[in-house]
Chain A
Amino acid sequence: DVKVTQSSRYLVKRTGEKVFLECVQDMDHENMFWYRQDPGLGLRLIYFSYDVKMKEKGDIPEGYSVSREKKERFSLILESASTNQTSMYLCASRGRQGSQPQHFGDGTRLSIL
């Protein structure tokens, strides 16, 4: 069974801090995704990676960056956290084909004070 593990379920940080959210998958998937989920807005794609060191901006990349140095790990970085980045963050992975479903982690609920 595919497992996508996000390093923290809950995280509290202060404005201006640099925040790292980590995601690891164990199925050798090429594609990995970071989403942000807010009430009434559904899932919004922040960044997407289709291979090691490869990334593409999603719908809302401002204020975020990503790193994919190894195939199994995809990190989301908040360069200077702000209160409007308080949200639920979801990581997902998927195999090579678009017909394959995504597999999601349990999410990280991030609060920026």
Chain B
Amino acid sequence: AQSVTQPDIHITVSEGASLELRCNYSYGATPYLFWYVQSPGQGLQLLLKYFSGDTLVQGIKGFEAEFKRSQSSFNLRKPSVHWSDAAEYFCAVGAGGGSYIPTFGRGTSLIVHP
């Protein structure tokens, strides 16, 4: 069975600092990988996705993620964090079947200090 682990429940960074949020997955084949962001009181919004090709994926709001097959990881990065990036971040793994149900990690809460 597939699984997703986000080992950090909370991450605190200072505004302007770089950010890396970790995501490890378990899946038998090449997965489809997603990062979503949830601002307070809102639904989830897609940041970026990977399913083939270049292992470094660019997303919205200046985020990027790198797929590393050997480490079963898909870490999210941003070179300089803004206060508006404070939110909950979710990593998810999917697969090709139309009825496939994606698996989500438990999320990482990002706190940004001024």
Contact = CB atoms under 8 A, between A and B. Distances in A.
Contacts of B41: 106-107
Interface stretch (B15-23, B62-70, B94-102): B94-102
A98 B97 contact: yes
Contacts of A31: 98-99
Determine the interface band of chain B, counting residues with CB < 8 A from chain A: 20 to 34
A107 B46 CA distance: 15
B96 A43 contact: no
Interface string A61-103: 0000000000000000000000000000010100011110111
Interface string B44-74: 1110010100000000000000000000000
Contacts, number: 64
B43 interface: yes
Contacts of A48: 99, 101
A30 B45 CA distance: 19
A50 B99 contact: yes
Contact of A42 (B42, B95, B100, B104): B104
A98 B98 contact: yes
B63 to A, nearest CB: 14
A58 interface: yes
Given A4-B43, A58-B101, A104-B43, A99 B94 contact: yes
B45 A104 contact: yes
Interface in B92-114: 92, 94-102, 104-107
Interface string A22-45: 000000001101000000111101
B104 A43 contact: yes
B42 A98 contact: no
A102 B102 contact: yes
12 contacts: A43-B104, A48-B101, A56-B101, A98-B100, A99-B49, A99-B96, A101-B36, A102-B46, A102-B102, A104-B45, A105-B43, A107-B42
